[in-house]
């Protein structure tokens, strides 16, 4: 795998990024299993030096090069400074990563990345790692996971939109934003708007108006309007909902990522995918689309209205 070699074959994959607790490791585990079942040779590369309990089969682990506890102990750094040091150390040791990946040619790669937001918004170490992978003929898409519970809080959702936009502009890779843990969204509370409003990032002025009803956010209406203008001017951010327990949801995410990084699967994989989806019936298909979640919200809201009318 010589650097910049035009003759070497292309390699495809995903860099899985996002804030702590957004479900990156769970996503890698679920996607590894899902792709394996349709015949795709998948390997997971752990680039998170703080990741100790990995549920997936890991082919390359940054812990062989450096670990966060060692950095924190020896250099007397905190978790954030330690993670930045680890990524800079990885950037300075490209030869280690190149040697590890060279033994895995012919696979589809899932890169499980750290959860420190500043690594994707303004620090250059991971960005440079991704750029180096591109020089090695890797065709990657960034899969940015965001916990779906932020949809239930308009203020936090605007913050998530700003973070997602900043990440897209900084990382400089084809990008797929994911609303993760959709199977748990009902536990977080009611949505102010239909689910597609959040996934498609529709007219955000409604979100600002909704925030203005809160006495605290009323004082920051002008600021929120300007943030929304920036997001809408770029018109880049949208989300794909994900429930890792649902095969249809996983298929939709996989196809969105395949479109982003240019991966084209063969006939055998296509047949395997059709067989897998045709067998996808029963208890494990309790969630089939975003409409399933939205219907529950509509029904619960209708019941609430009926109860209010009866009280009157």
State both tokens at 82.
């330690």
Report the range of poorest mean pLDDT among 59-73, 175-189, 267-281: 267-281
Residue 270 is predicted with a pLDDT of: 73
Read off the pLDDT of residues 179-227 as tens digits, 9 standing for 90 and up: 999 888 878 778 888 888 999 988 899 888 888 887 777 788 899 899 9
Evaluate if residue 291 carries a pLDDT over 70.
no
Would you place residue 285 in the very low, low, confident or very high pLDDT band (cuts 50, 70, 90)?
Answer: very low
Residue 9 is predicted with a pLDDT of: 84
- SS3 of 208-241: the string is HHHHHCCHHHHCCHHHHHHHHHHHHHHCCCCCEE
- Segment 240-254 mean pLDDT: 93
- Segment 281-287 mean pLDDT: 43
Read off the pLDDT of residues 155-167 as tens digits, 9 standing for 90 and up: 889 999 999 999 9
To the nearest whole number, what is the mean pLDDT of the chain? 86
- Residue 277 CB neighbours (<10 A): 13
Would you place residue 286 in the very low, low, confident or very high pLDDT band (cuts 50, 70, 90)?
Answer: very low
Pairing of strands 11-17, 175-180: unpaired
Structural domains in the chain? 11-201+237-311 (3.40.50.300)
CA atoms of 195 and 217, how far apart (whole Å): 23
Read off the pLDDT of residues 30-53 as tens digits, 9 standing for 90 and up: 999 999 999 999 999 999 999 888
């Amino acid at each position: 795998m010589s650097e910049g070699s035009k003759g070497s074959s292309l390699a495809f994959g995903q860099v899985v990024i996002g804030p702590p607790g957004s479900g990156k490791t769970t996503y890698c585990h679920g996607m590894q299993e899902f792709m394996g079942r349709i015949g795709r040779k998948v390997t997971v590369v752990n680039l998170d030096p703080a990741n100790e309990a990995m549920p997936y089969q890991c082919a390359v682990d940054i812990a062989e090069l450096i670990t966060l506890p060692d950095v924190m102990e020896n250099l007397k750094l905190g978790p954030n400074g330690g993670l930045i040091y680890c990524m800079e150390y990885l950037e300075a040791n490209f030869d280690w990563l190149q040697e590890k990946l060279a033994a895995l040619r012919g696979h589809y790669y899932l890169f499980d990345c750290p959860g420190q937001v500043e690594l994707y918004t303004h620090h250059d170490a991971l960005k440079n790692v991704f750029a180096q992978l591109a020089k090695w003929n890797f065709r990657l898409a960034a899969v940015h996971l965001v916990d779906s519970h932020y949809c239930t809080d308009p203020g936090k959702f605007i913050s998530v939109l700003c973070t997602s936009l900043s990440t897209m502009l900084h990382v400089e890779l084809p990008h797929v934003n994911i609303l993760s843990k959709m199977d748990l969204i009902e536990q977080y509370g009611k949505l102010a708007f239909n689910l597609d409003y959040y996934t498609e990032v529709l007219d955000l002025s409604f979100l600002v108006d909704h925030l203005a009803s809160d006495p605290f956010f009323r004082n920051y209406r002008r600021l929120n309007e300007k943030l929304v203008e920036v997001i809408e001017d770029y018109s880049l951010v949208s989300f794909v909902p994900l429930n890792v327990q649902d095969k249809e949801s996983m298929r939709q995410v996989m196809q969105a990522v395949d479109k982003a990084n240019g991966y084209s699967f063969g006939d055998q994989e296509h047949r395997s995918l059709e067989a897998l989806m045709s067998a996808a019936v029963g208890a494990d298909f309790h969630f089939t689309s975003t409409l399933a979640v939205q219907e529950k919200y509509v029904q619960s809201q209708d019941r609430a209205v009926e109860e209010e009318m009866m009280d009157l």
